[in-house]
Chains A and B, each alone.
Chain A
Amino acid sequence: MATIIHITLKGIFRDRVFQGIMVLAVLFLFIPSAASLSMRQMTELTTTLSLSLISFIMLLLAVFLGATSIWKDIERRYTFSVLSLPISRTTYLWGRFFGIALFMLMTTVFLGAMALIAIKAATFGYPPSRPVVWSTIIVTILFDALKYILVVAVAMLLATVSTSFFLPVFGAISVFLAGTATQPVYDYLQTPSVQAAVSVIVRKAAETLYYLLPNLSGFDLKVHAIYSIPFNVQGLILTSIYFAGYTLIILSIGSFLFAWREMK
């Protein structure tokens, strides 16, 4: 599996899509000037902009890498040569996944370092109302990475059954959008007034979706990083376990489907 991870990383670094997306990192240079427009929360705004930029780049990378890696291998008929080696399809799929996940973590470290520099620079320009807690920002960026790694897993699952590029790309985006909305919708449906108004079937359906779709709201810790609000450590541990469990399930289903798939 290590060699699959290795060539996956090589492939991403030599890919033009990746290079194009990483050009977006140049936007970090504009963050300080954009943040100076703020009335008095320059540091907070720098943090917001940095974290959002990281999120945005990671979303693009997750969707395109996750959706295209397997799809491209099938489309360009690389699978014939690779899957006829003495490796199982599960090994191949997981190797691909871990390669991309590792890449996402490396990107996180790179973008995170840029964000920290931008935020540090902002604190010189205008001291924040609360001291910046660096560990909080780092943990936030890390959980952001976990969220997008989960999106990668979802995109790969869709790519294992799809013959076209559309299902994995748009499917992953849809799951991402839905995944960030399940928690507010679920909370909304739990309010007494709604419970009275909405039929049981709709509520049950929403509840099923809530447990079926990934709950990505839990990974969004930006507000903690921006305003230096302490974490609920127990919550973070639960989120990590949730991430591991959900990813494992998605990948297992993915390997099952991929093993079943015929390479015509």
Chain B
Amino acid sequence: MNAIEISGLCKQFKGKRRTCVDALKNLDLQIEAGEVFGFLGPNGAGKSTTIKLVMGLLRPTSGTAIIMGVDSTLAESRRKVGFLPENPAFYDYLSAEEYVAFVGSQFKMDTALLKRRSDEVIKQLDLWEARKRPMRSYSKGMIQRVGLAQALVHDPDVYILDEPMSGLDPIGRALVKDIILDLKKRGKCVFFSTHITDDVEKVCDRVGVIVKGSLVAIDRVENILRSGLEGYLVHLQLSDADAGTFAGLQAVRRTGTVSEFYVPSSVFNAFMGAVNTSGKEVVLVETKRRDLEDFFLSLVTSSAQESR
């Protein structure tokens, strides 16, 4: 069963002077259980709108979103979901401990288990020292970590995280990546939005790119990385005499006794064959490819041009 199933989801907002703004256009998306899905898009692309529709905070204009087989308009659909809102805010008169306990009780957790899990997640997110202080005294990063703690406490199967890395320092970001990787290891489904490609590349199984309310690409991360492959940089140990060329290719750089050759994918096999027969020593082979950032930027620019 798919953890999240979105079909034909549309959302229009009424703008000023009776205009309608299409915030989301006909989104179809299936996210499998046990999958980490990165939802990538520039600011205002419709990521948060999608997530709010899935969480039942907004009503779809048309289409449906189903979580673990339950329609998202029903409160029951959120029973197995841990949700982190974008730039979260929590009752600031409560302490982190009280809030996490409140969330746990909403998921009907057993008191002893809740206490144990609450202590665990609070320690995990480095809030232990501050746990008894009211949250109005917390920094932005601490609130973000409370948001993650309350999403994790009841150990749900599905995690929906809206910009989980925002507001965090590098240590916090690394912590979140670790947490997501750990969830992946434990077979949980994580659906998170971001506009930072690096986050996606490190932790995601699949990625969807949304631009101006439309899903413009969806693929496995490794496919994108692979499809972006352009060639290799081969470092060979060569004597000064034949340092300049090898197998008909010009060296792009020479450092010491090592020459670097740029080998397009199409001739890589022939080139390596030549290396093999010549008996020269291969020091290093680097893949030369477009990264996810380039992929993302090219999609955003192309869709911007289309609409023009």
Q: Which residues of A contact B (CB under 8 A)?
A: 3, 7, 10-11, 14-15, 76-88, 91, 260, 262-264
Contact = CB atoms under 8 A, between A and B. Distances in A.
A1 B207 CA distance: 38
Contacts of B85: 77, 80-81, 84
Contacts of A264: 13, 52, 58
10 residue pairs, one from A and one from B, having the closest CB atoms: A263-B57, A80-B85, A14-B93, A88-B75, A86-B78, A85-B106, A86-B79, A77-B89, A84-B55, A84-B83
Contacts of A91: 75
Given A80-B88, A81-B150, A86-B75, A7 B58 contact: no
Contact of A81 (B52, B58, B76, B89): B89
Given A80-B88, A82-B91, A86-B76, 18 more contacts: A7-B91, A7-B98, A11-B91, A76-B89, A77-B88, A77-B89, A78-B89, A80-B52, A80-B85, A81-B147, A83-B56, A84-B55, A85-B103, A85-B106, A86-B78, A86-B79, A263-B57, A264-B52
B90 interface: yes
Contacts of B88: 77, 80-81
Interface of B: 13, 52, 55-59, 75-79, 81, 83, 85-94, 98, 102-103, 105-107, 134, 147, 150
A10 to B, nearest CB: 7
Contacts of A86: 75-79, 81, 106-107
Contact of B56 (A15, A81, A82, A84): A84
B57 A81 contact: no
Given A77-B85, A81-B85, A85-B78, A3 B57 contact: no
A15 B86 CA distance: 26
A260 B52 CA distance: 14
A262 B56 CA distance: 9
B93 A81 contact: no
Contacts of B81: 84, 86
Nearest to B59: A262
B56 A7 contact: no
A77 B94 CA distance: 15
A190 B93 CA distance: 52
A79 B83 CA distance: 13
Contacts of A81: 83, 85, 88-90, 147, 150
Contacts of A87: 75, 106
